[in-house]
């Protein structure tokens, strides 16, 4: 196979990988949104029942109304947050390279990955610095890479633990660190082909440490002196 064909094959594989990533995120978030809508529909039915409450039971109805209103508000806020996160994610492919706020990107991708973590009984915790860290990068590729790193850590993490995604900066270098307690002896190979494709297209340095205490994955990026 000549170089042109190899490059074309690599681009095709990267395209399908990004489509699969987008599909995973969209499927997960829309599942959560469906749960939100289901709960709102259930509450709406209960409110209809309250509307038909006899006058003799008005006091009890008012107490139930307060509880249902709180529940409705929580679900509405959750739905709005999920929709905003998904909208932000949808626009990550608008530009090949752009000035990207790492704080916002990490917070968004962690929020979008929360359901996947919950299914494995792992709590995601995002630790961000007090100042914004900006890099020039492809936000879709970087989000995909960090998603794969997070999934790799999740595949090894113990249940009922906290997986921390931490952002820090030292001089002209930013680092995303993903850590979780685990007692595995070998790293899980999670979509390694996609992982290598993305790494070849991003100016990042990735380190992995696996011990009996836990998994630690570090992703370093240049901030260009910002």
In the chain, domain spans:
3-89, 95-222
Q: What is the mean pLDDT of residues 14-42?
A: 92
- Report the C-alpha gap between 79 and 141 in whole angstroms: 26
pLDDT in the model for residue 185: 54
How far apart (Å, rounded) are the C-alpha atoms in residues 146 and 124? 13
Quote the CA–CA distance of 226 and 102 in Å, as a whole number.
12
Q: What are the residues facing 168 on neighbouring strands?
A: 175
**Exposed, middle or buried by CB within 10 Å (0-12, 13-18, 19+), for 225?**
exposed
* Predicted pLDDT at 1: 47
How many Å apart are CA 25 and CA 116, to the nearest integer?
9
- For 181-202, how does the pLDDT look when each residue is reduced to its tens digit (9 = 90+)? 987 655 554 556 777 888 888 9
Local confidence band at 170 (pLDDT 50, 70, 90 cut-offs): confident
Q: What is the mean pLDDT of residues 64-78?
A: 89
* pTM recorded for the entire structure: 0.85
Burial 65-92 (b: 16+ CB within 10 A, else e): beebeeebeebeebbeebeebbebbeeb
Rounded average pLDDT over 26-34? 94
Percent of the chain with pLDDT over 90: 56
Burial level of 106, CB count in 10 A (0-12/13-18/19+)? buried
Give percent of the chain with pLDDT exceeding 70. 86
Q: Tens digit of pLDDT for each residue in 100-128?
A: 999 999 999 999 999 999 998 999 999 99
In this model, does residue 43 exceed pLDDT 80? yes
Strand runs labelled E in the chain: 98-101, 122-127, 134-137, 161-170, 173-181, 204-210, 214-222
Mean pLDDT of 69-85: 93
Evaluate whether the domain defined by 95-222 bears CATH number 3.10.20.30. no
């Amino acid at each position: 196979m000549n170089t042109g064909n190899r490059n074309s094959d690599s681009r095709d594989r990267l395209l399908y990988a990004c489509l699969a990533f987008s599909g995973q995120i969209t499927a997960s978030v829309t599942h959560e949104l469906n749960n939100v809508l289901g709960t709102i529909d259930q509450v709406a039915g209960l409110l209809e029942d309250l509307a038909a409450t006899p006058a003799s039971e008005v006091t009890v109805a008012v107490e139930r109304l307060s509880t249902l209103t709180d529940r409705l508000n929580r679900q509405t806020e959750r739905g709005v947050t999920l929709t905003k996160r998904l909208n932000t994610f949808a626009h990550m492919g608008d530009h090949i390279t752009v000035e990207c706020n790492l704080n916002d990107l990490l917070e968004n991708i962690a929020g979008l990955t929360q359901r996947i973590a919950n299914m494995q009984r792992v709590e995601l915790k995002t630790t961000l610095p007090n100042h914004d860290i900006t890099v020039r990068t492809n936000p879709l590729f970087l989000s995909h890479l960090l998603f794969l790193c997070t999934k790799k850590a999740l595949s090894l993490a113990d249940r009922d633990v906290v997986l921390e995604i931490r952002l820090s900066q030292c001089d002209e270098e930013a680092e995303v660190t993903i850590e979780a307690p685990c007692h595995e002896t070998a790293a899980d190979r999670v979509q390694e082909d996609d992982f290598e494709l993305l790494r070849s297209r991003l100016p990042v340095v990735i380190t992995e440490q696996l011990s009996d205490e836990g998994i630690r994955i570090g992703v370093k990026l240049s901030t260009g002196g910002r």
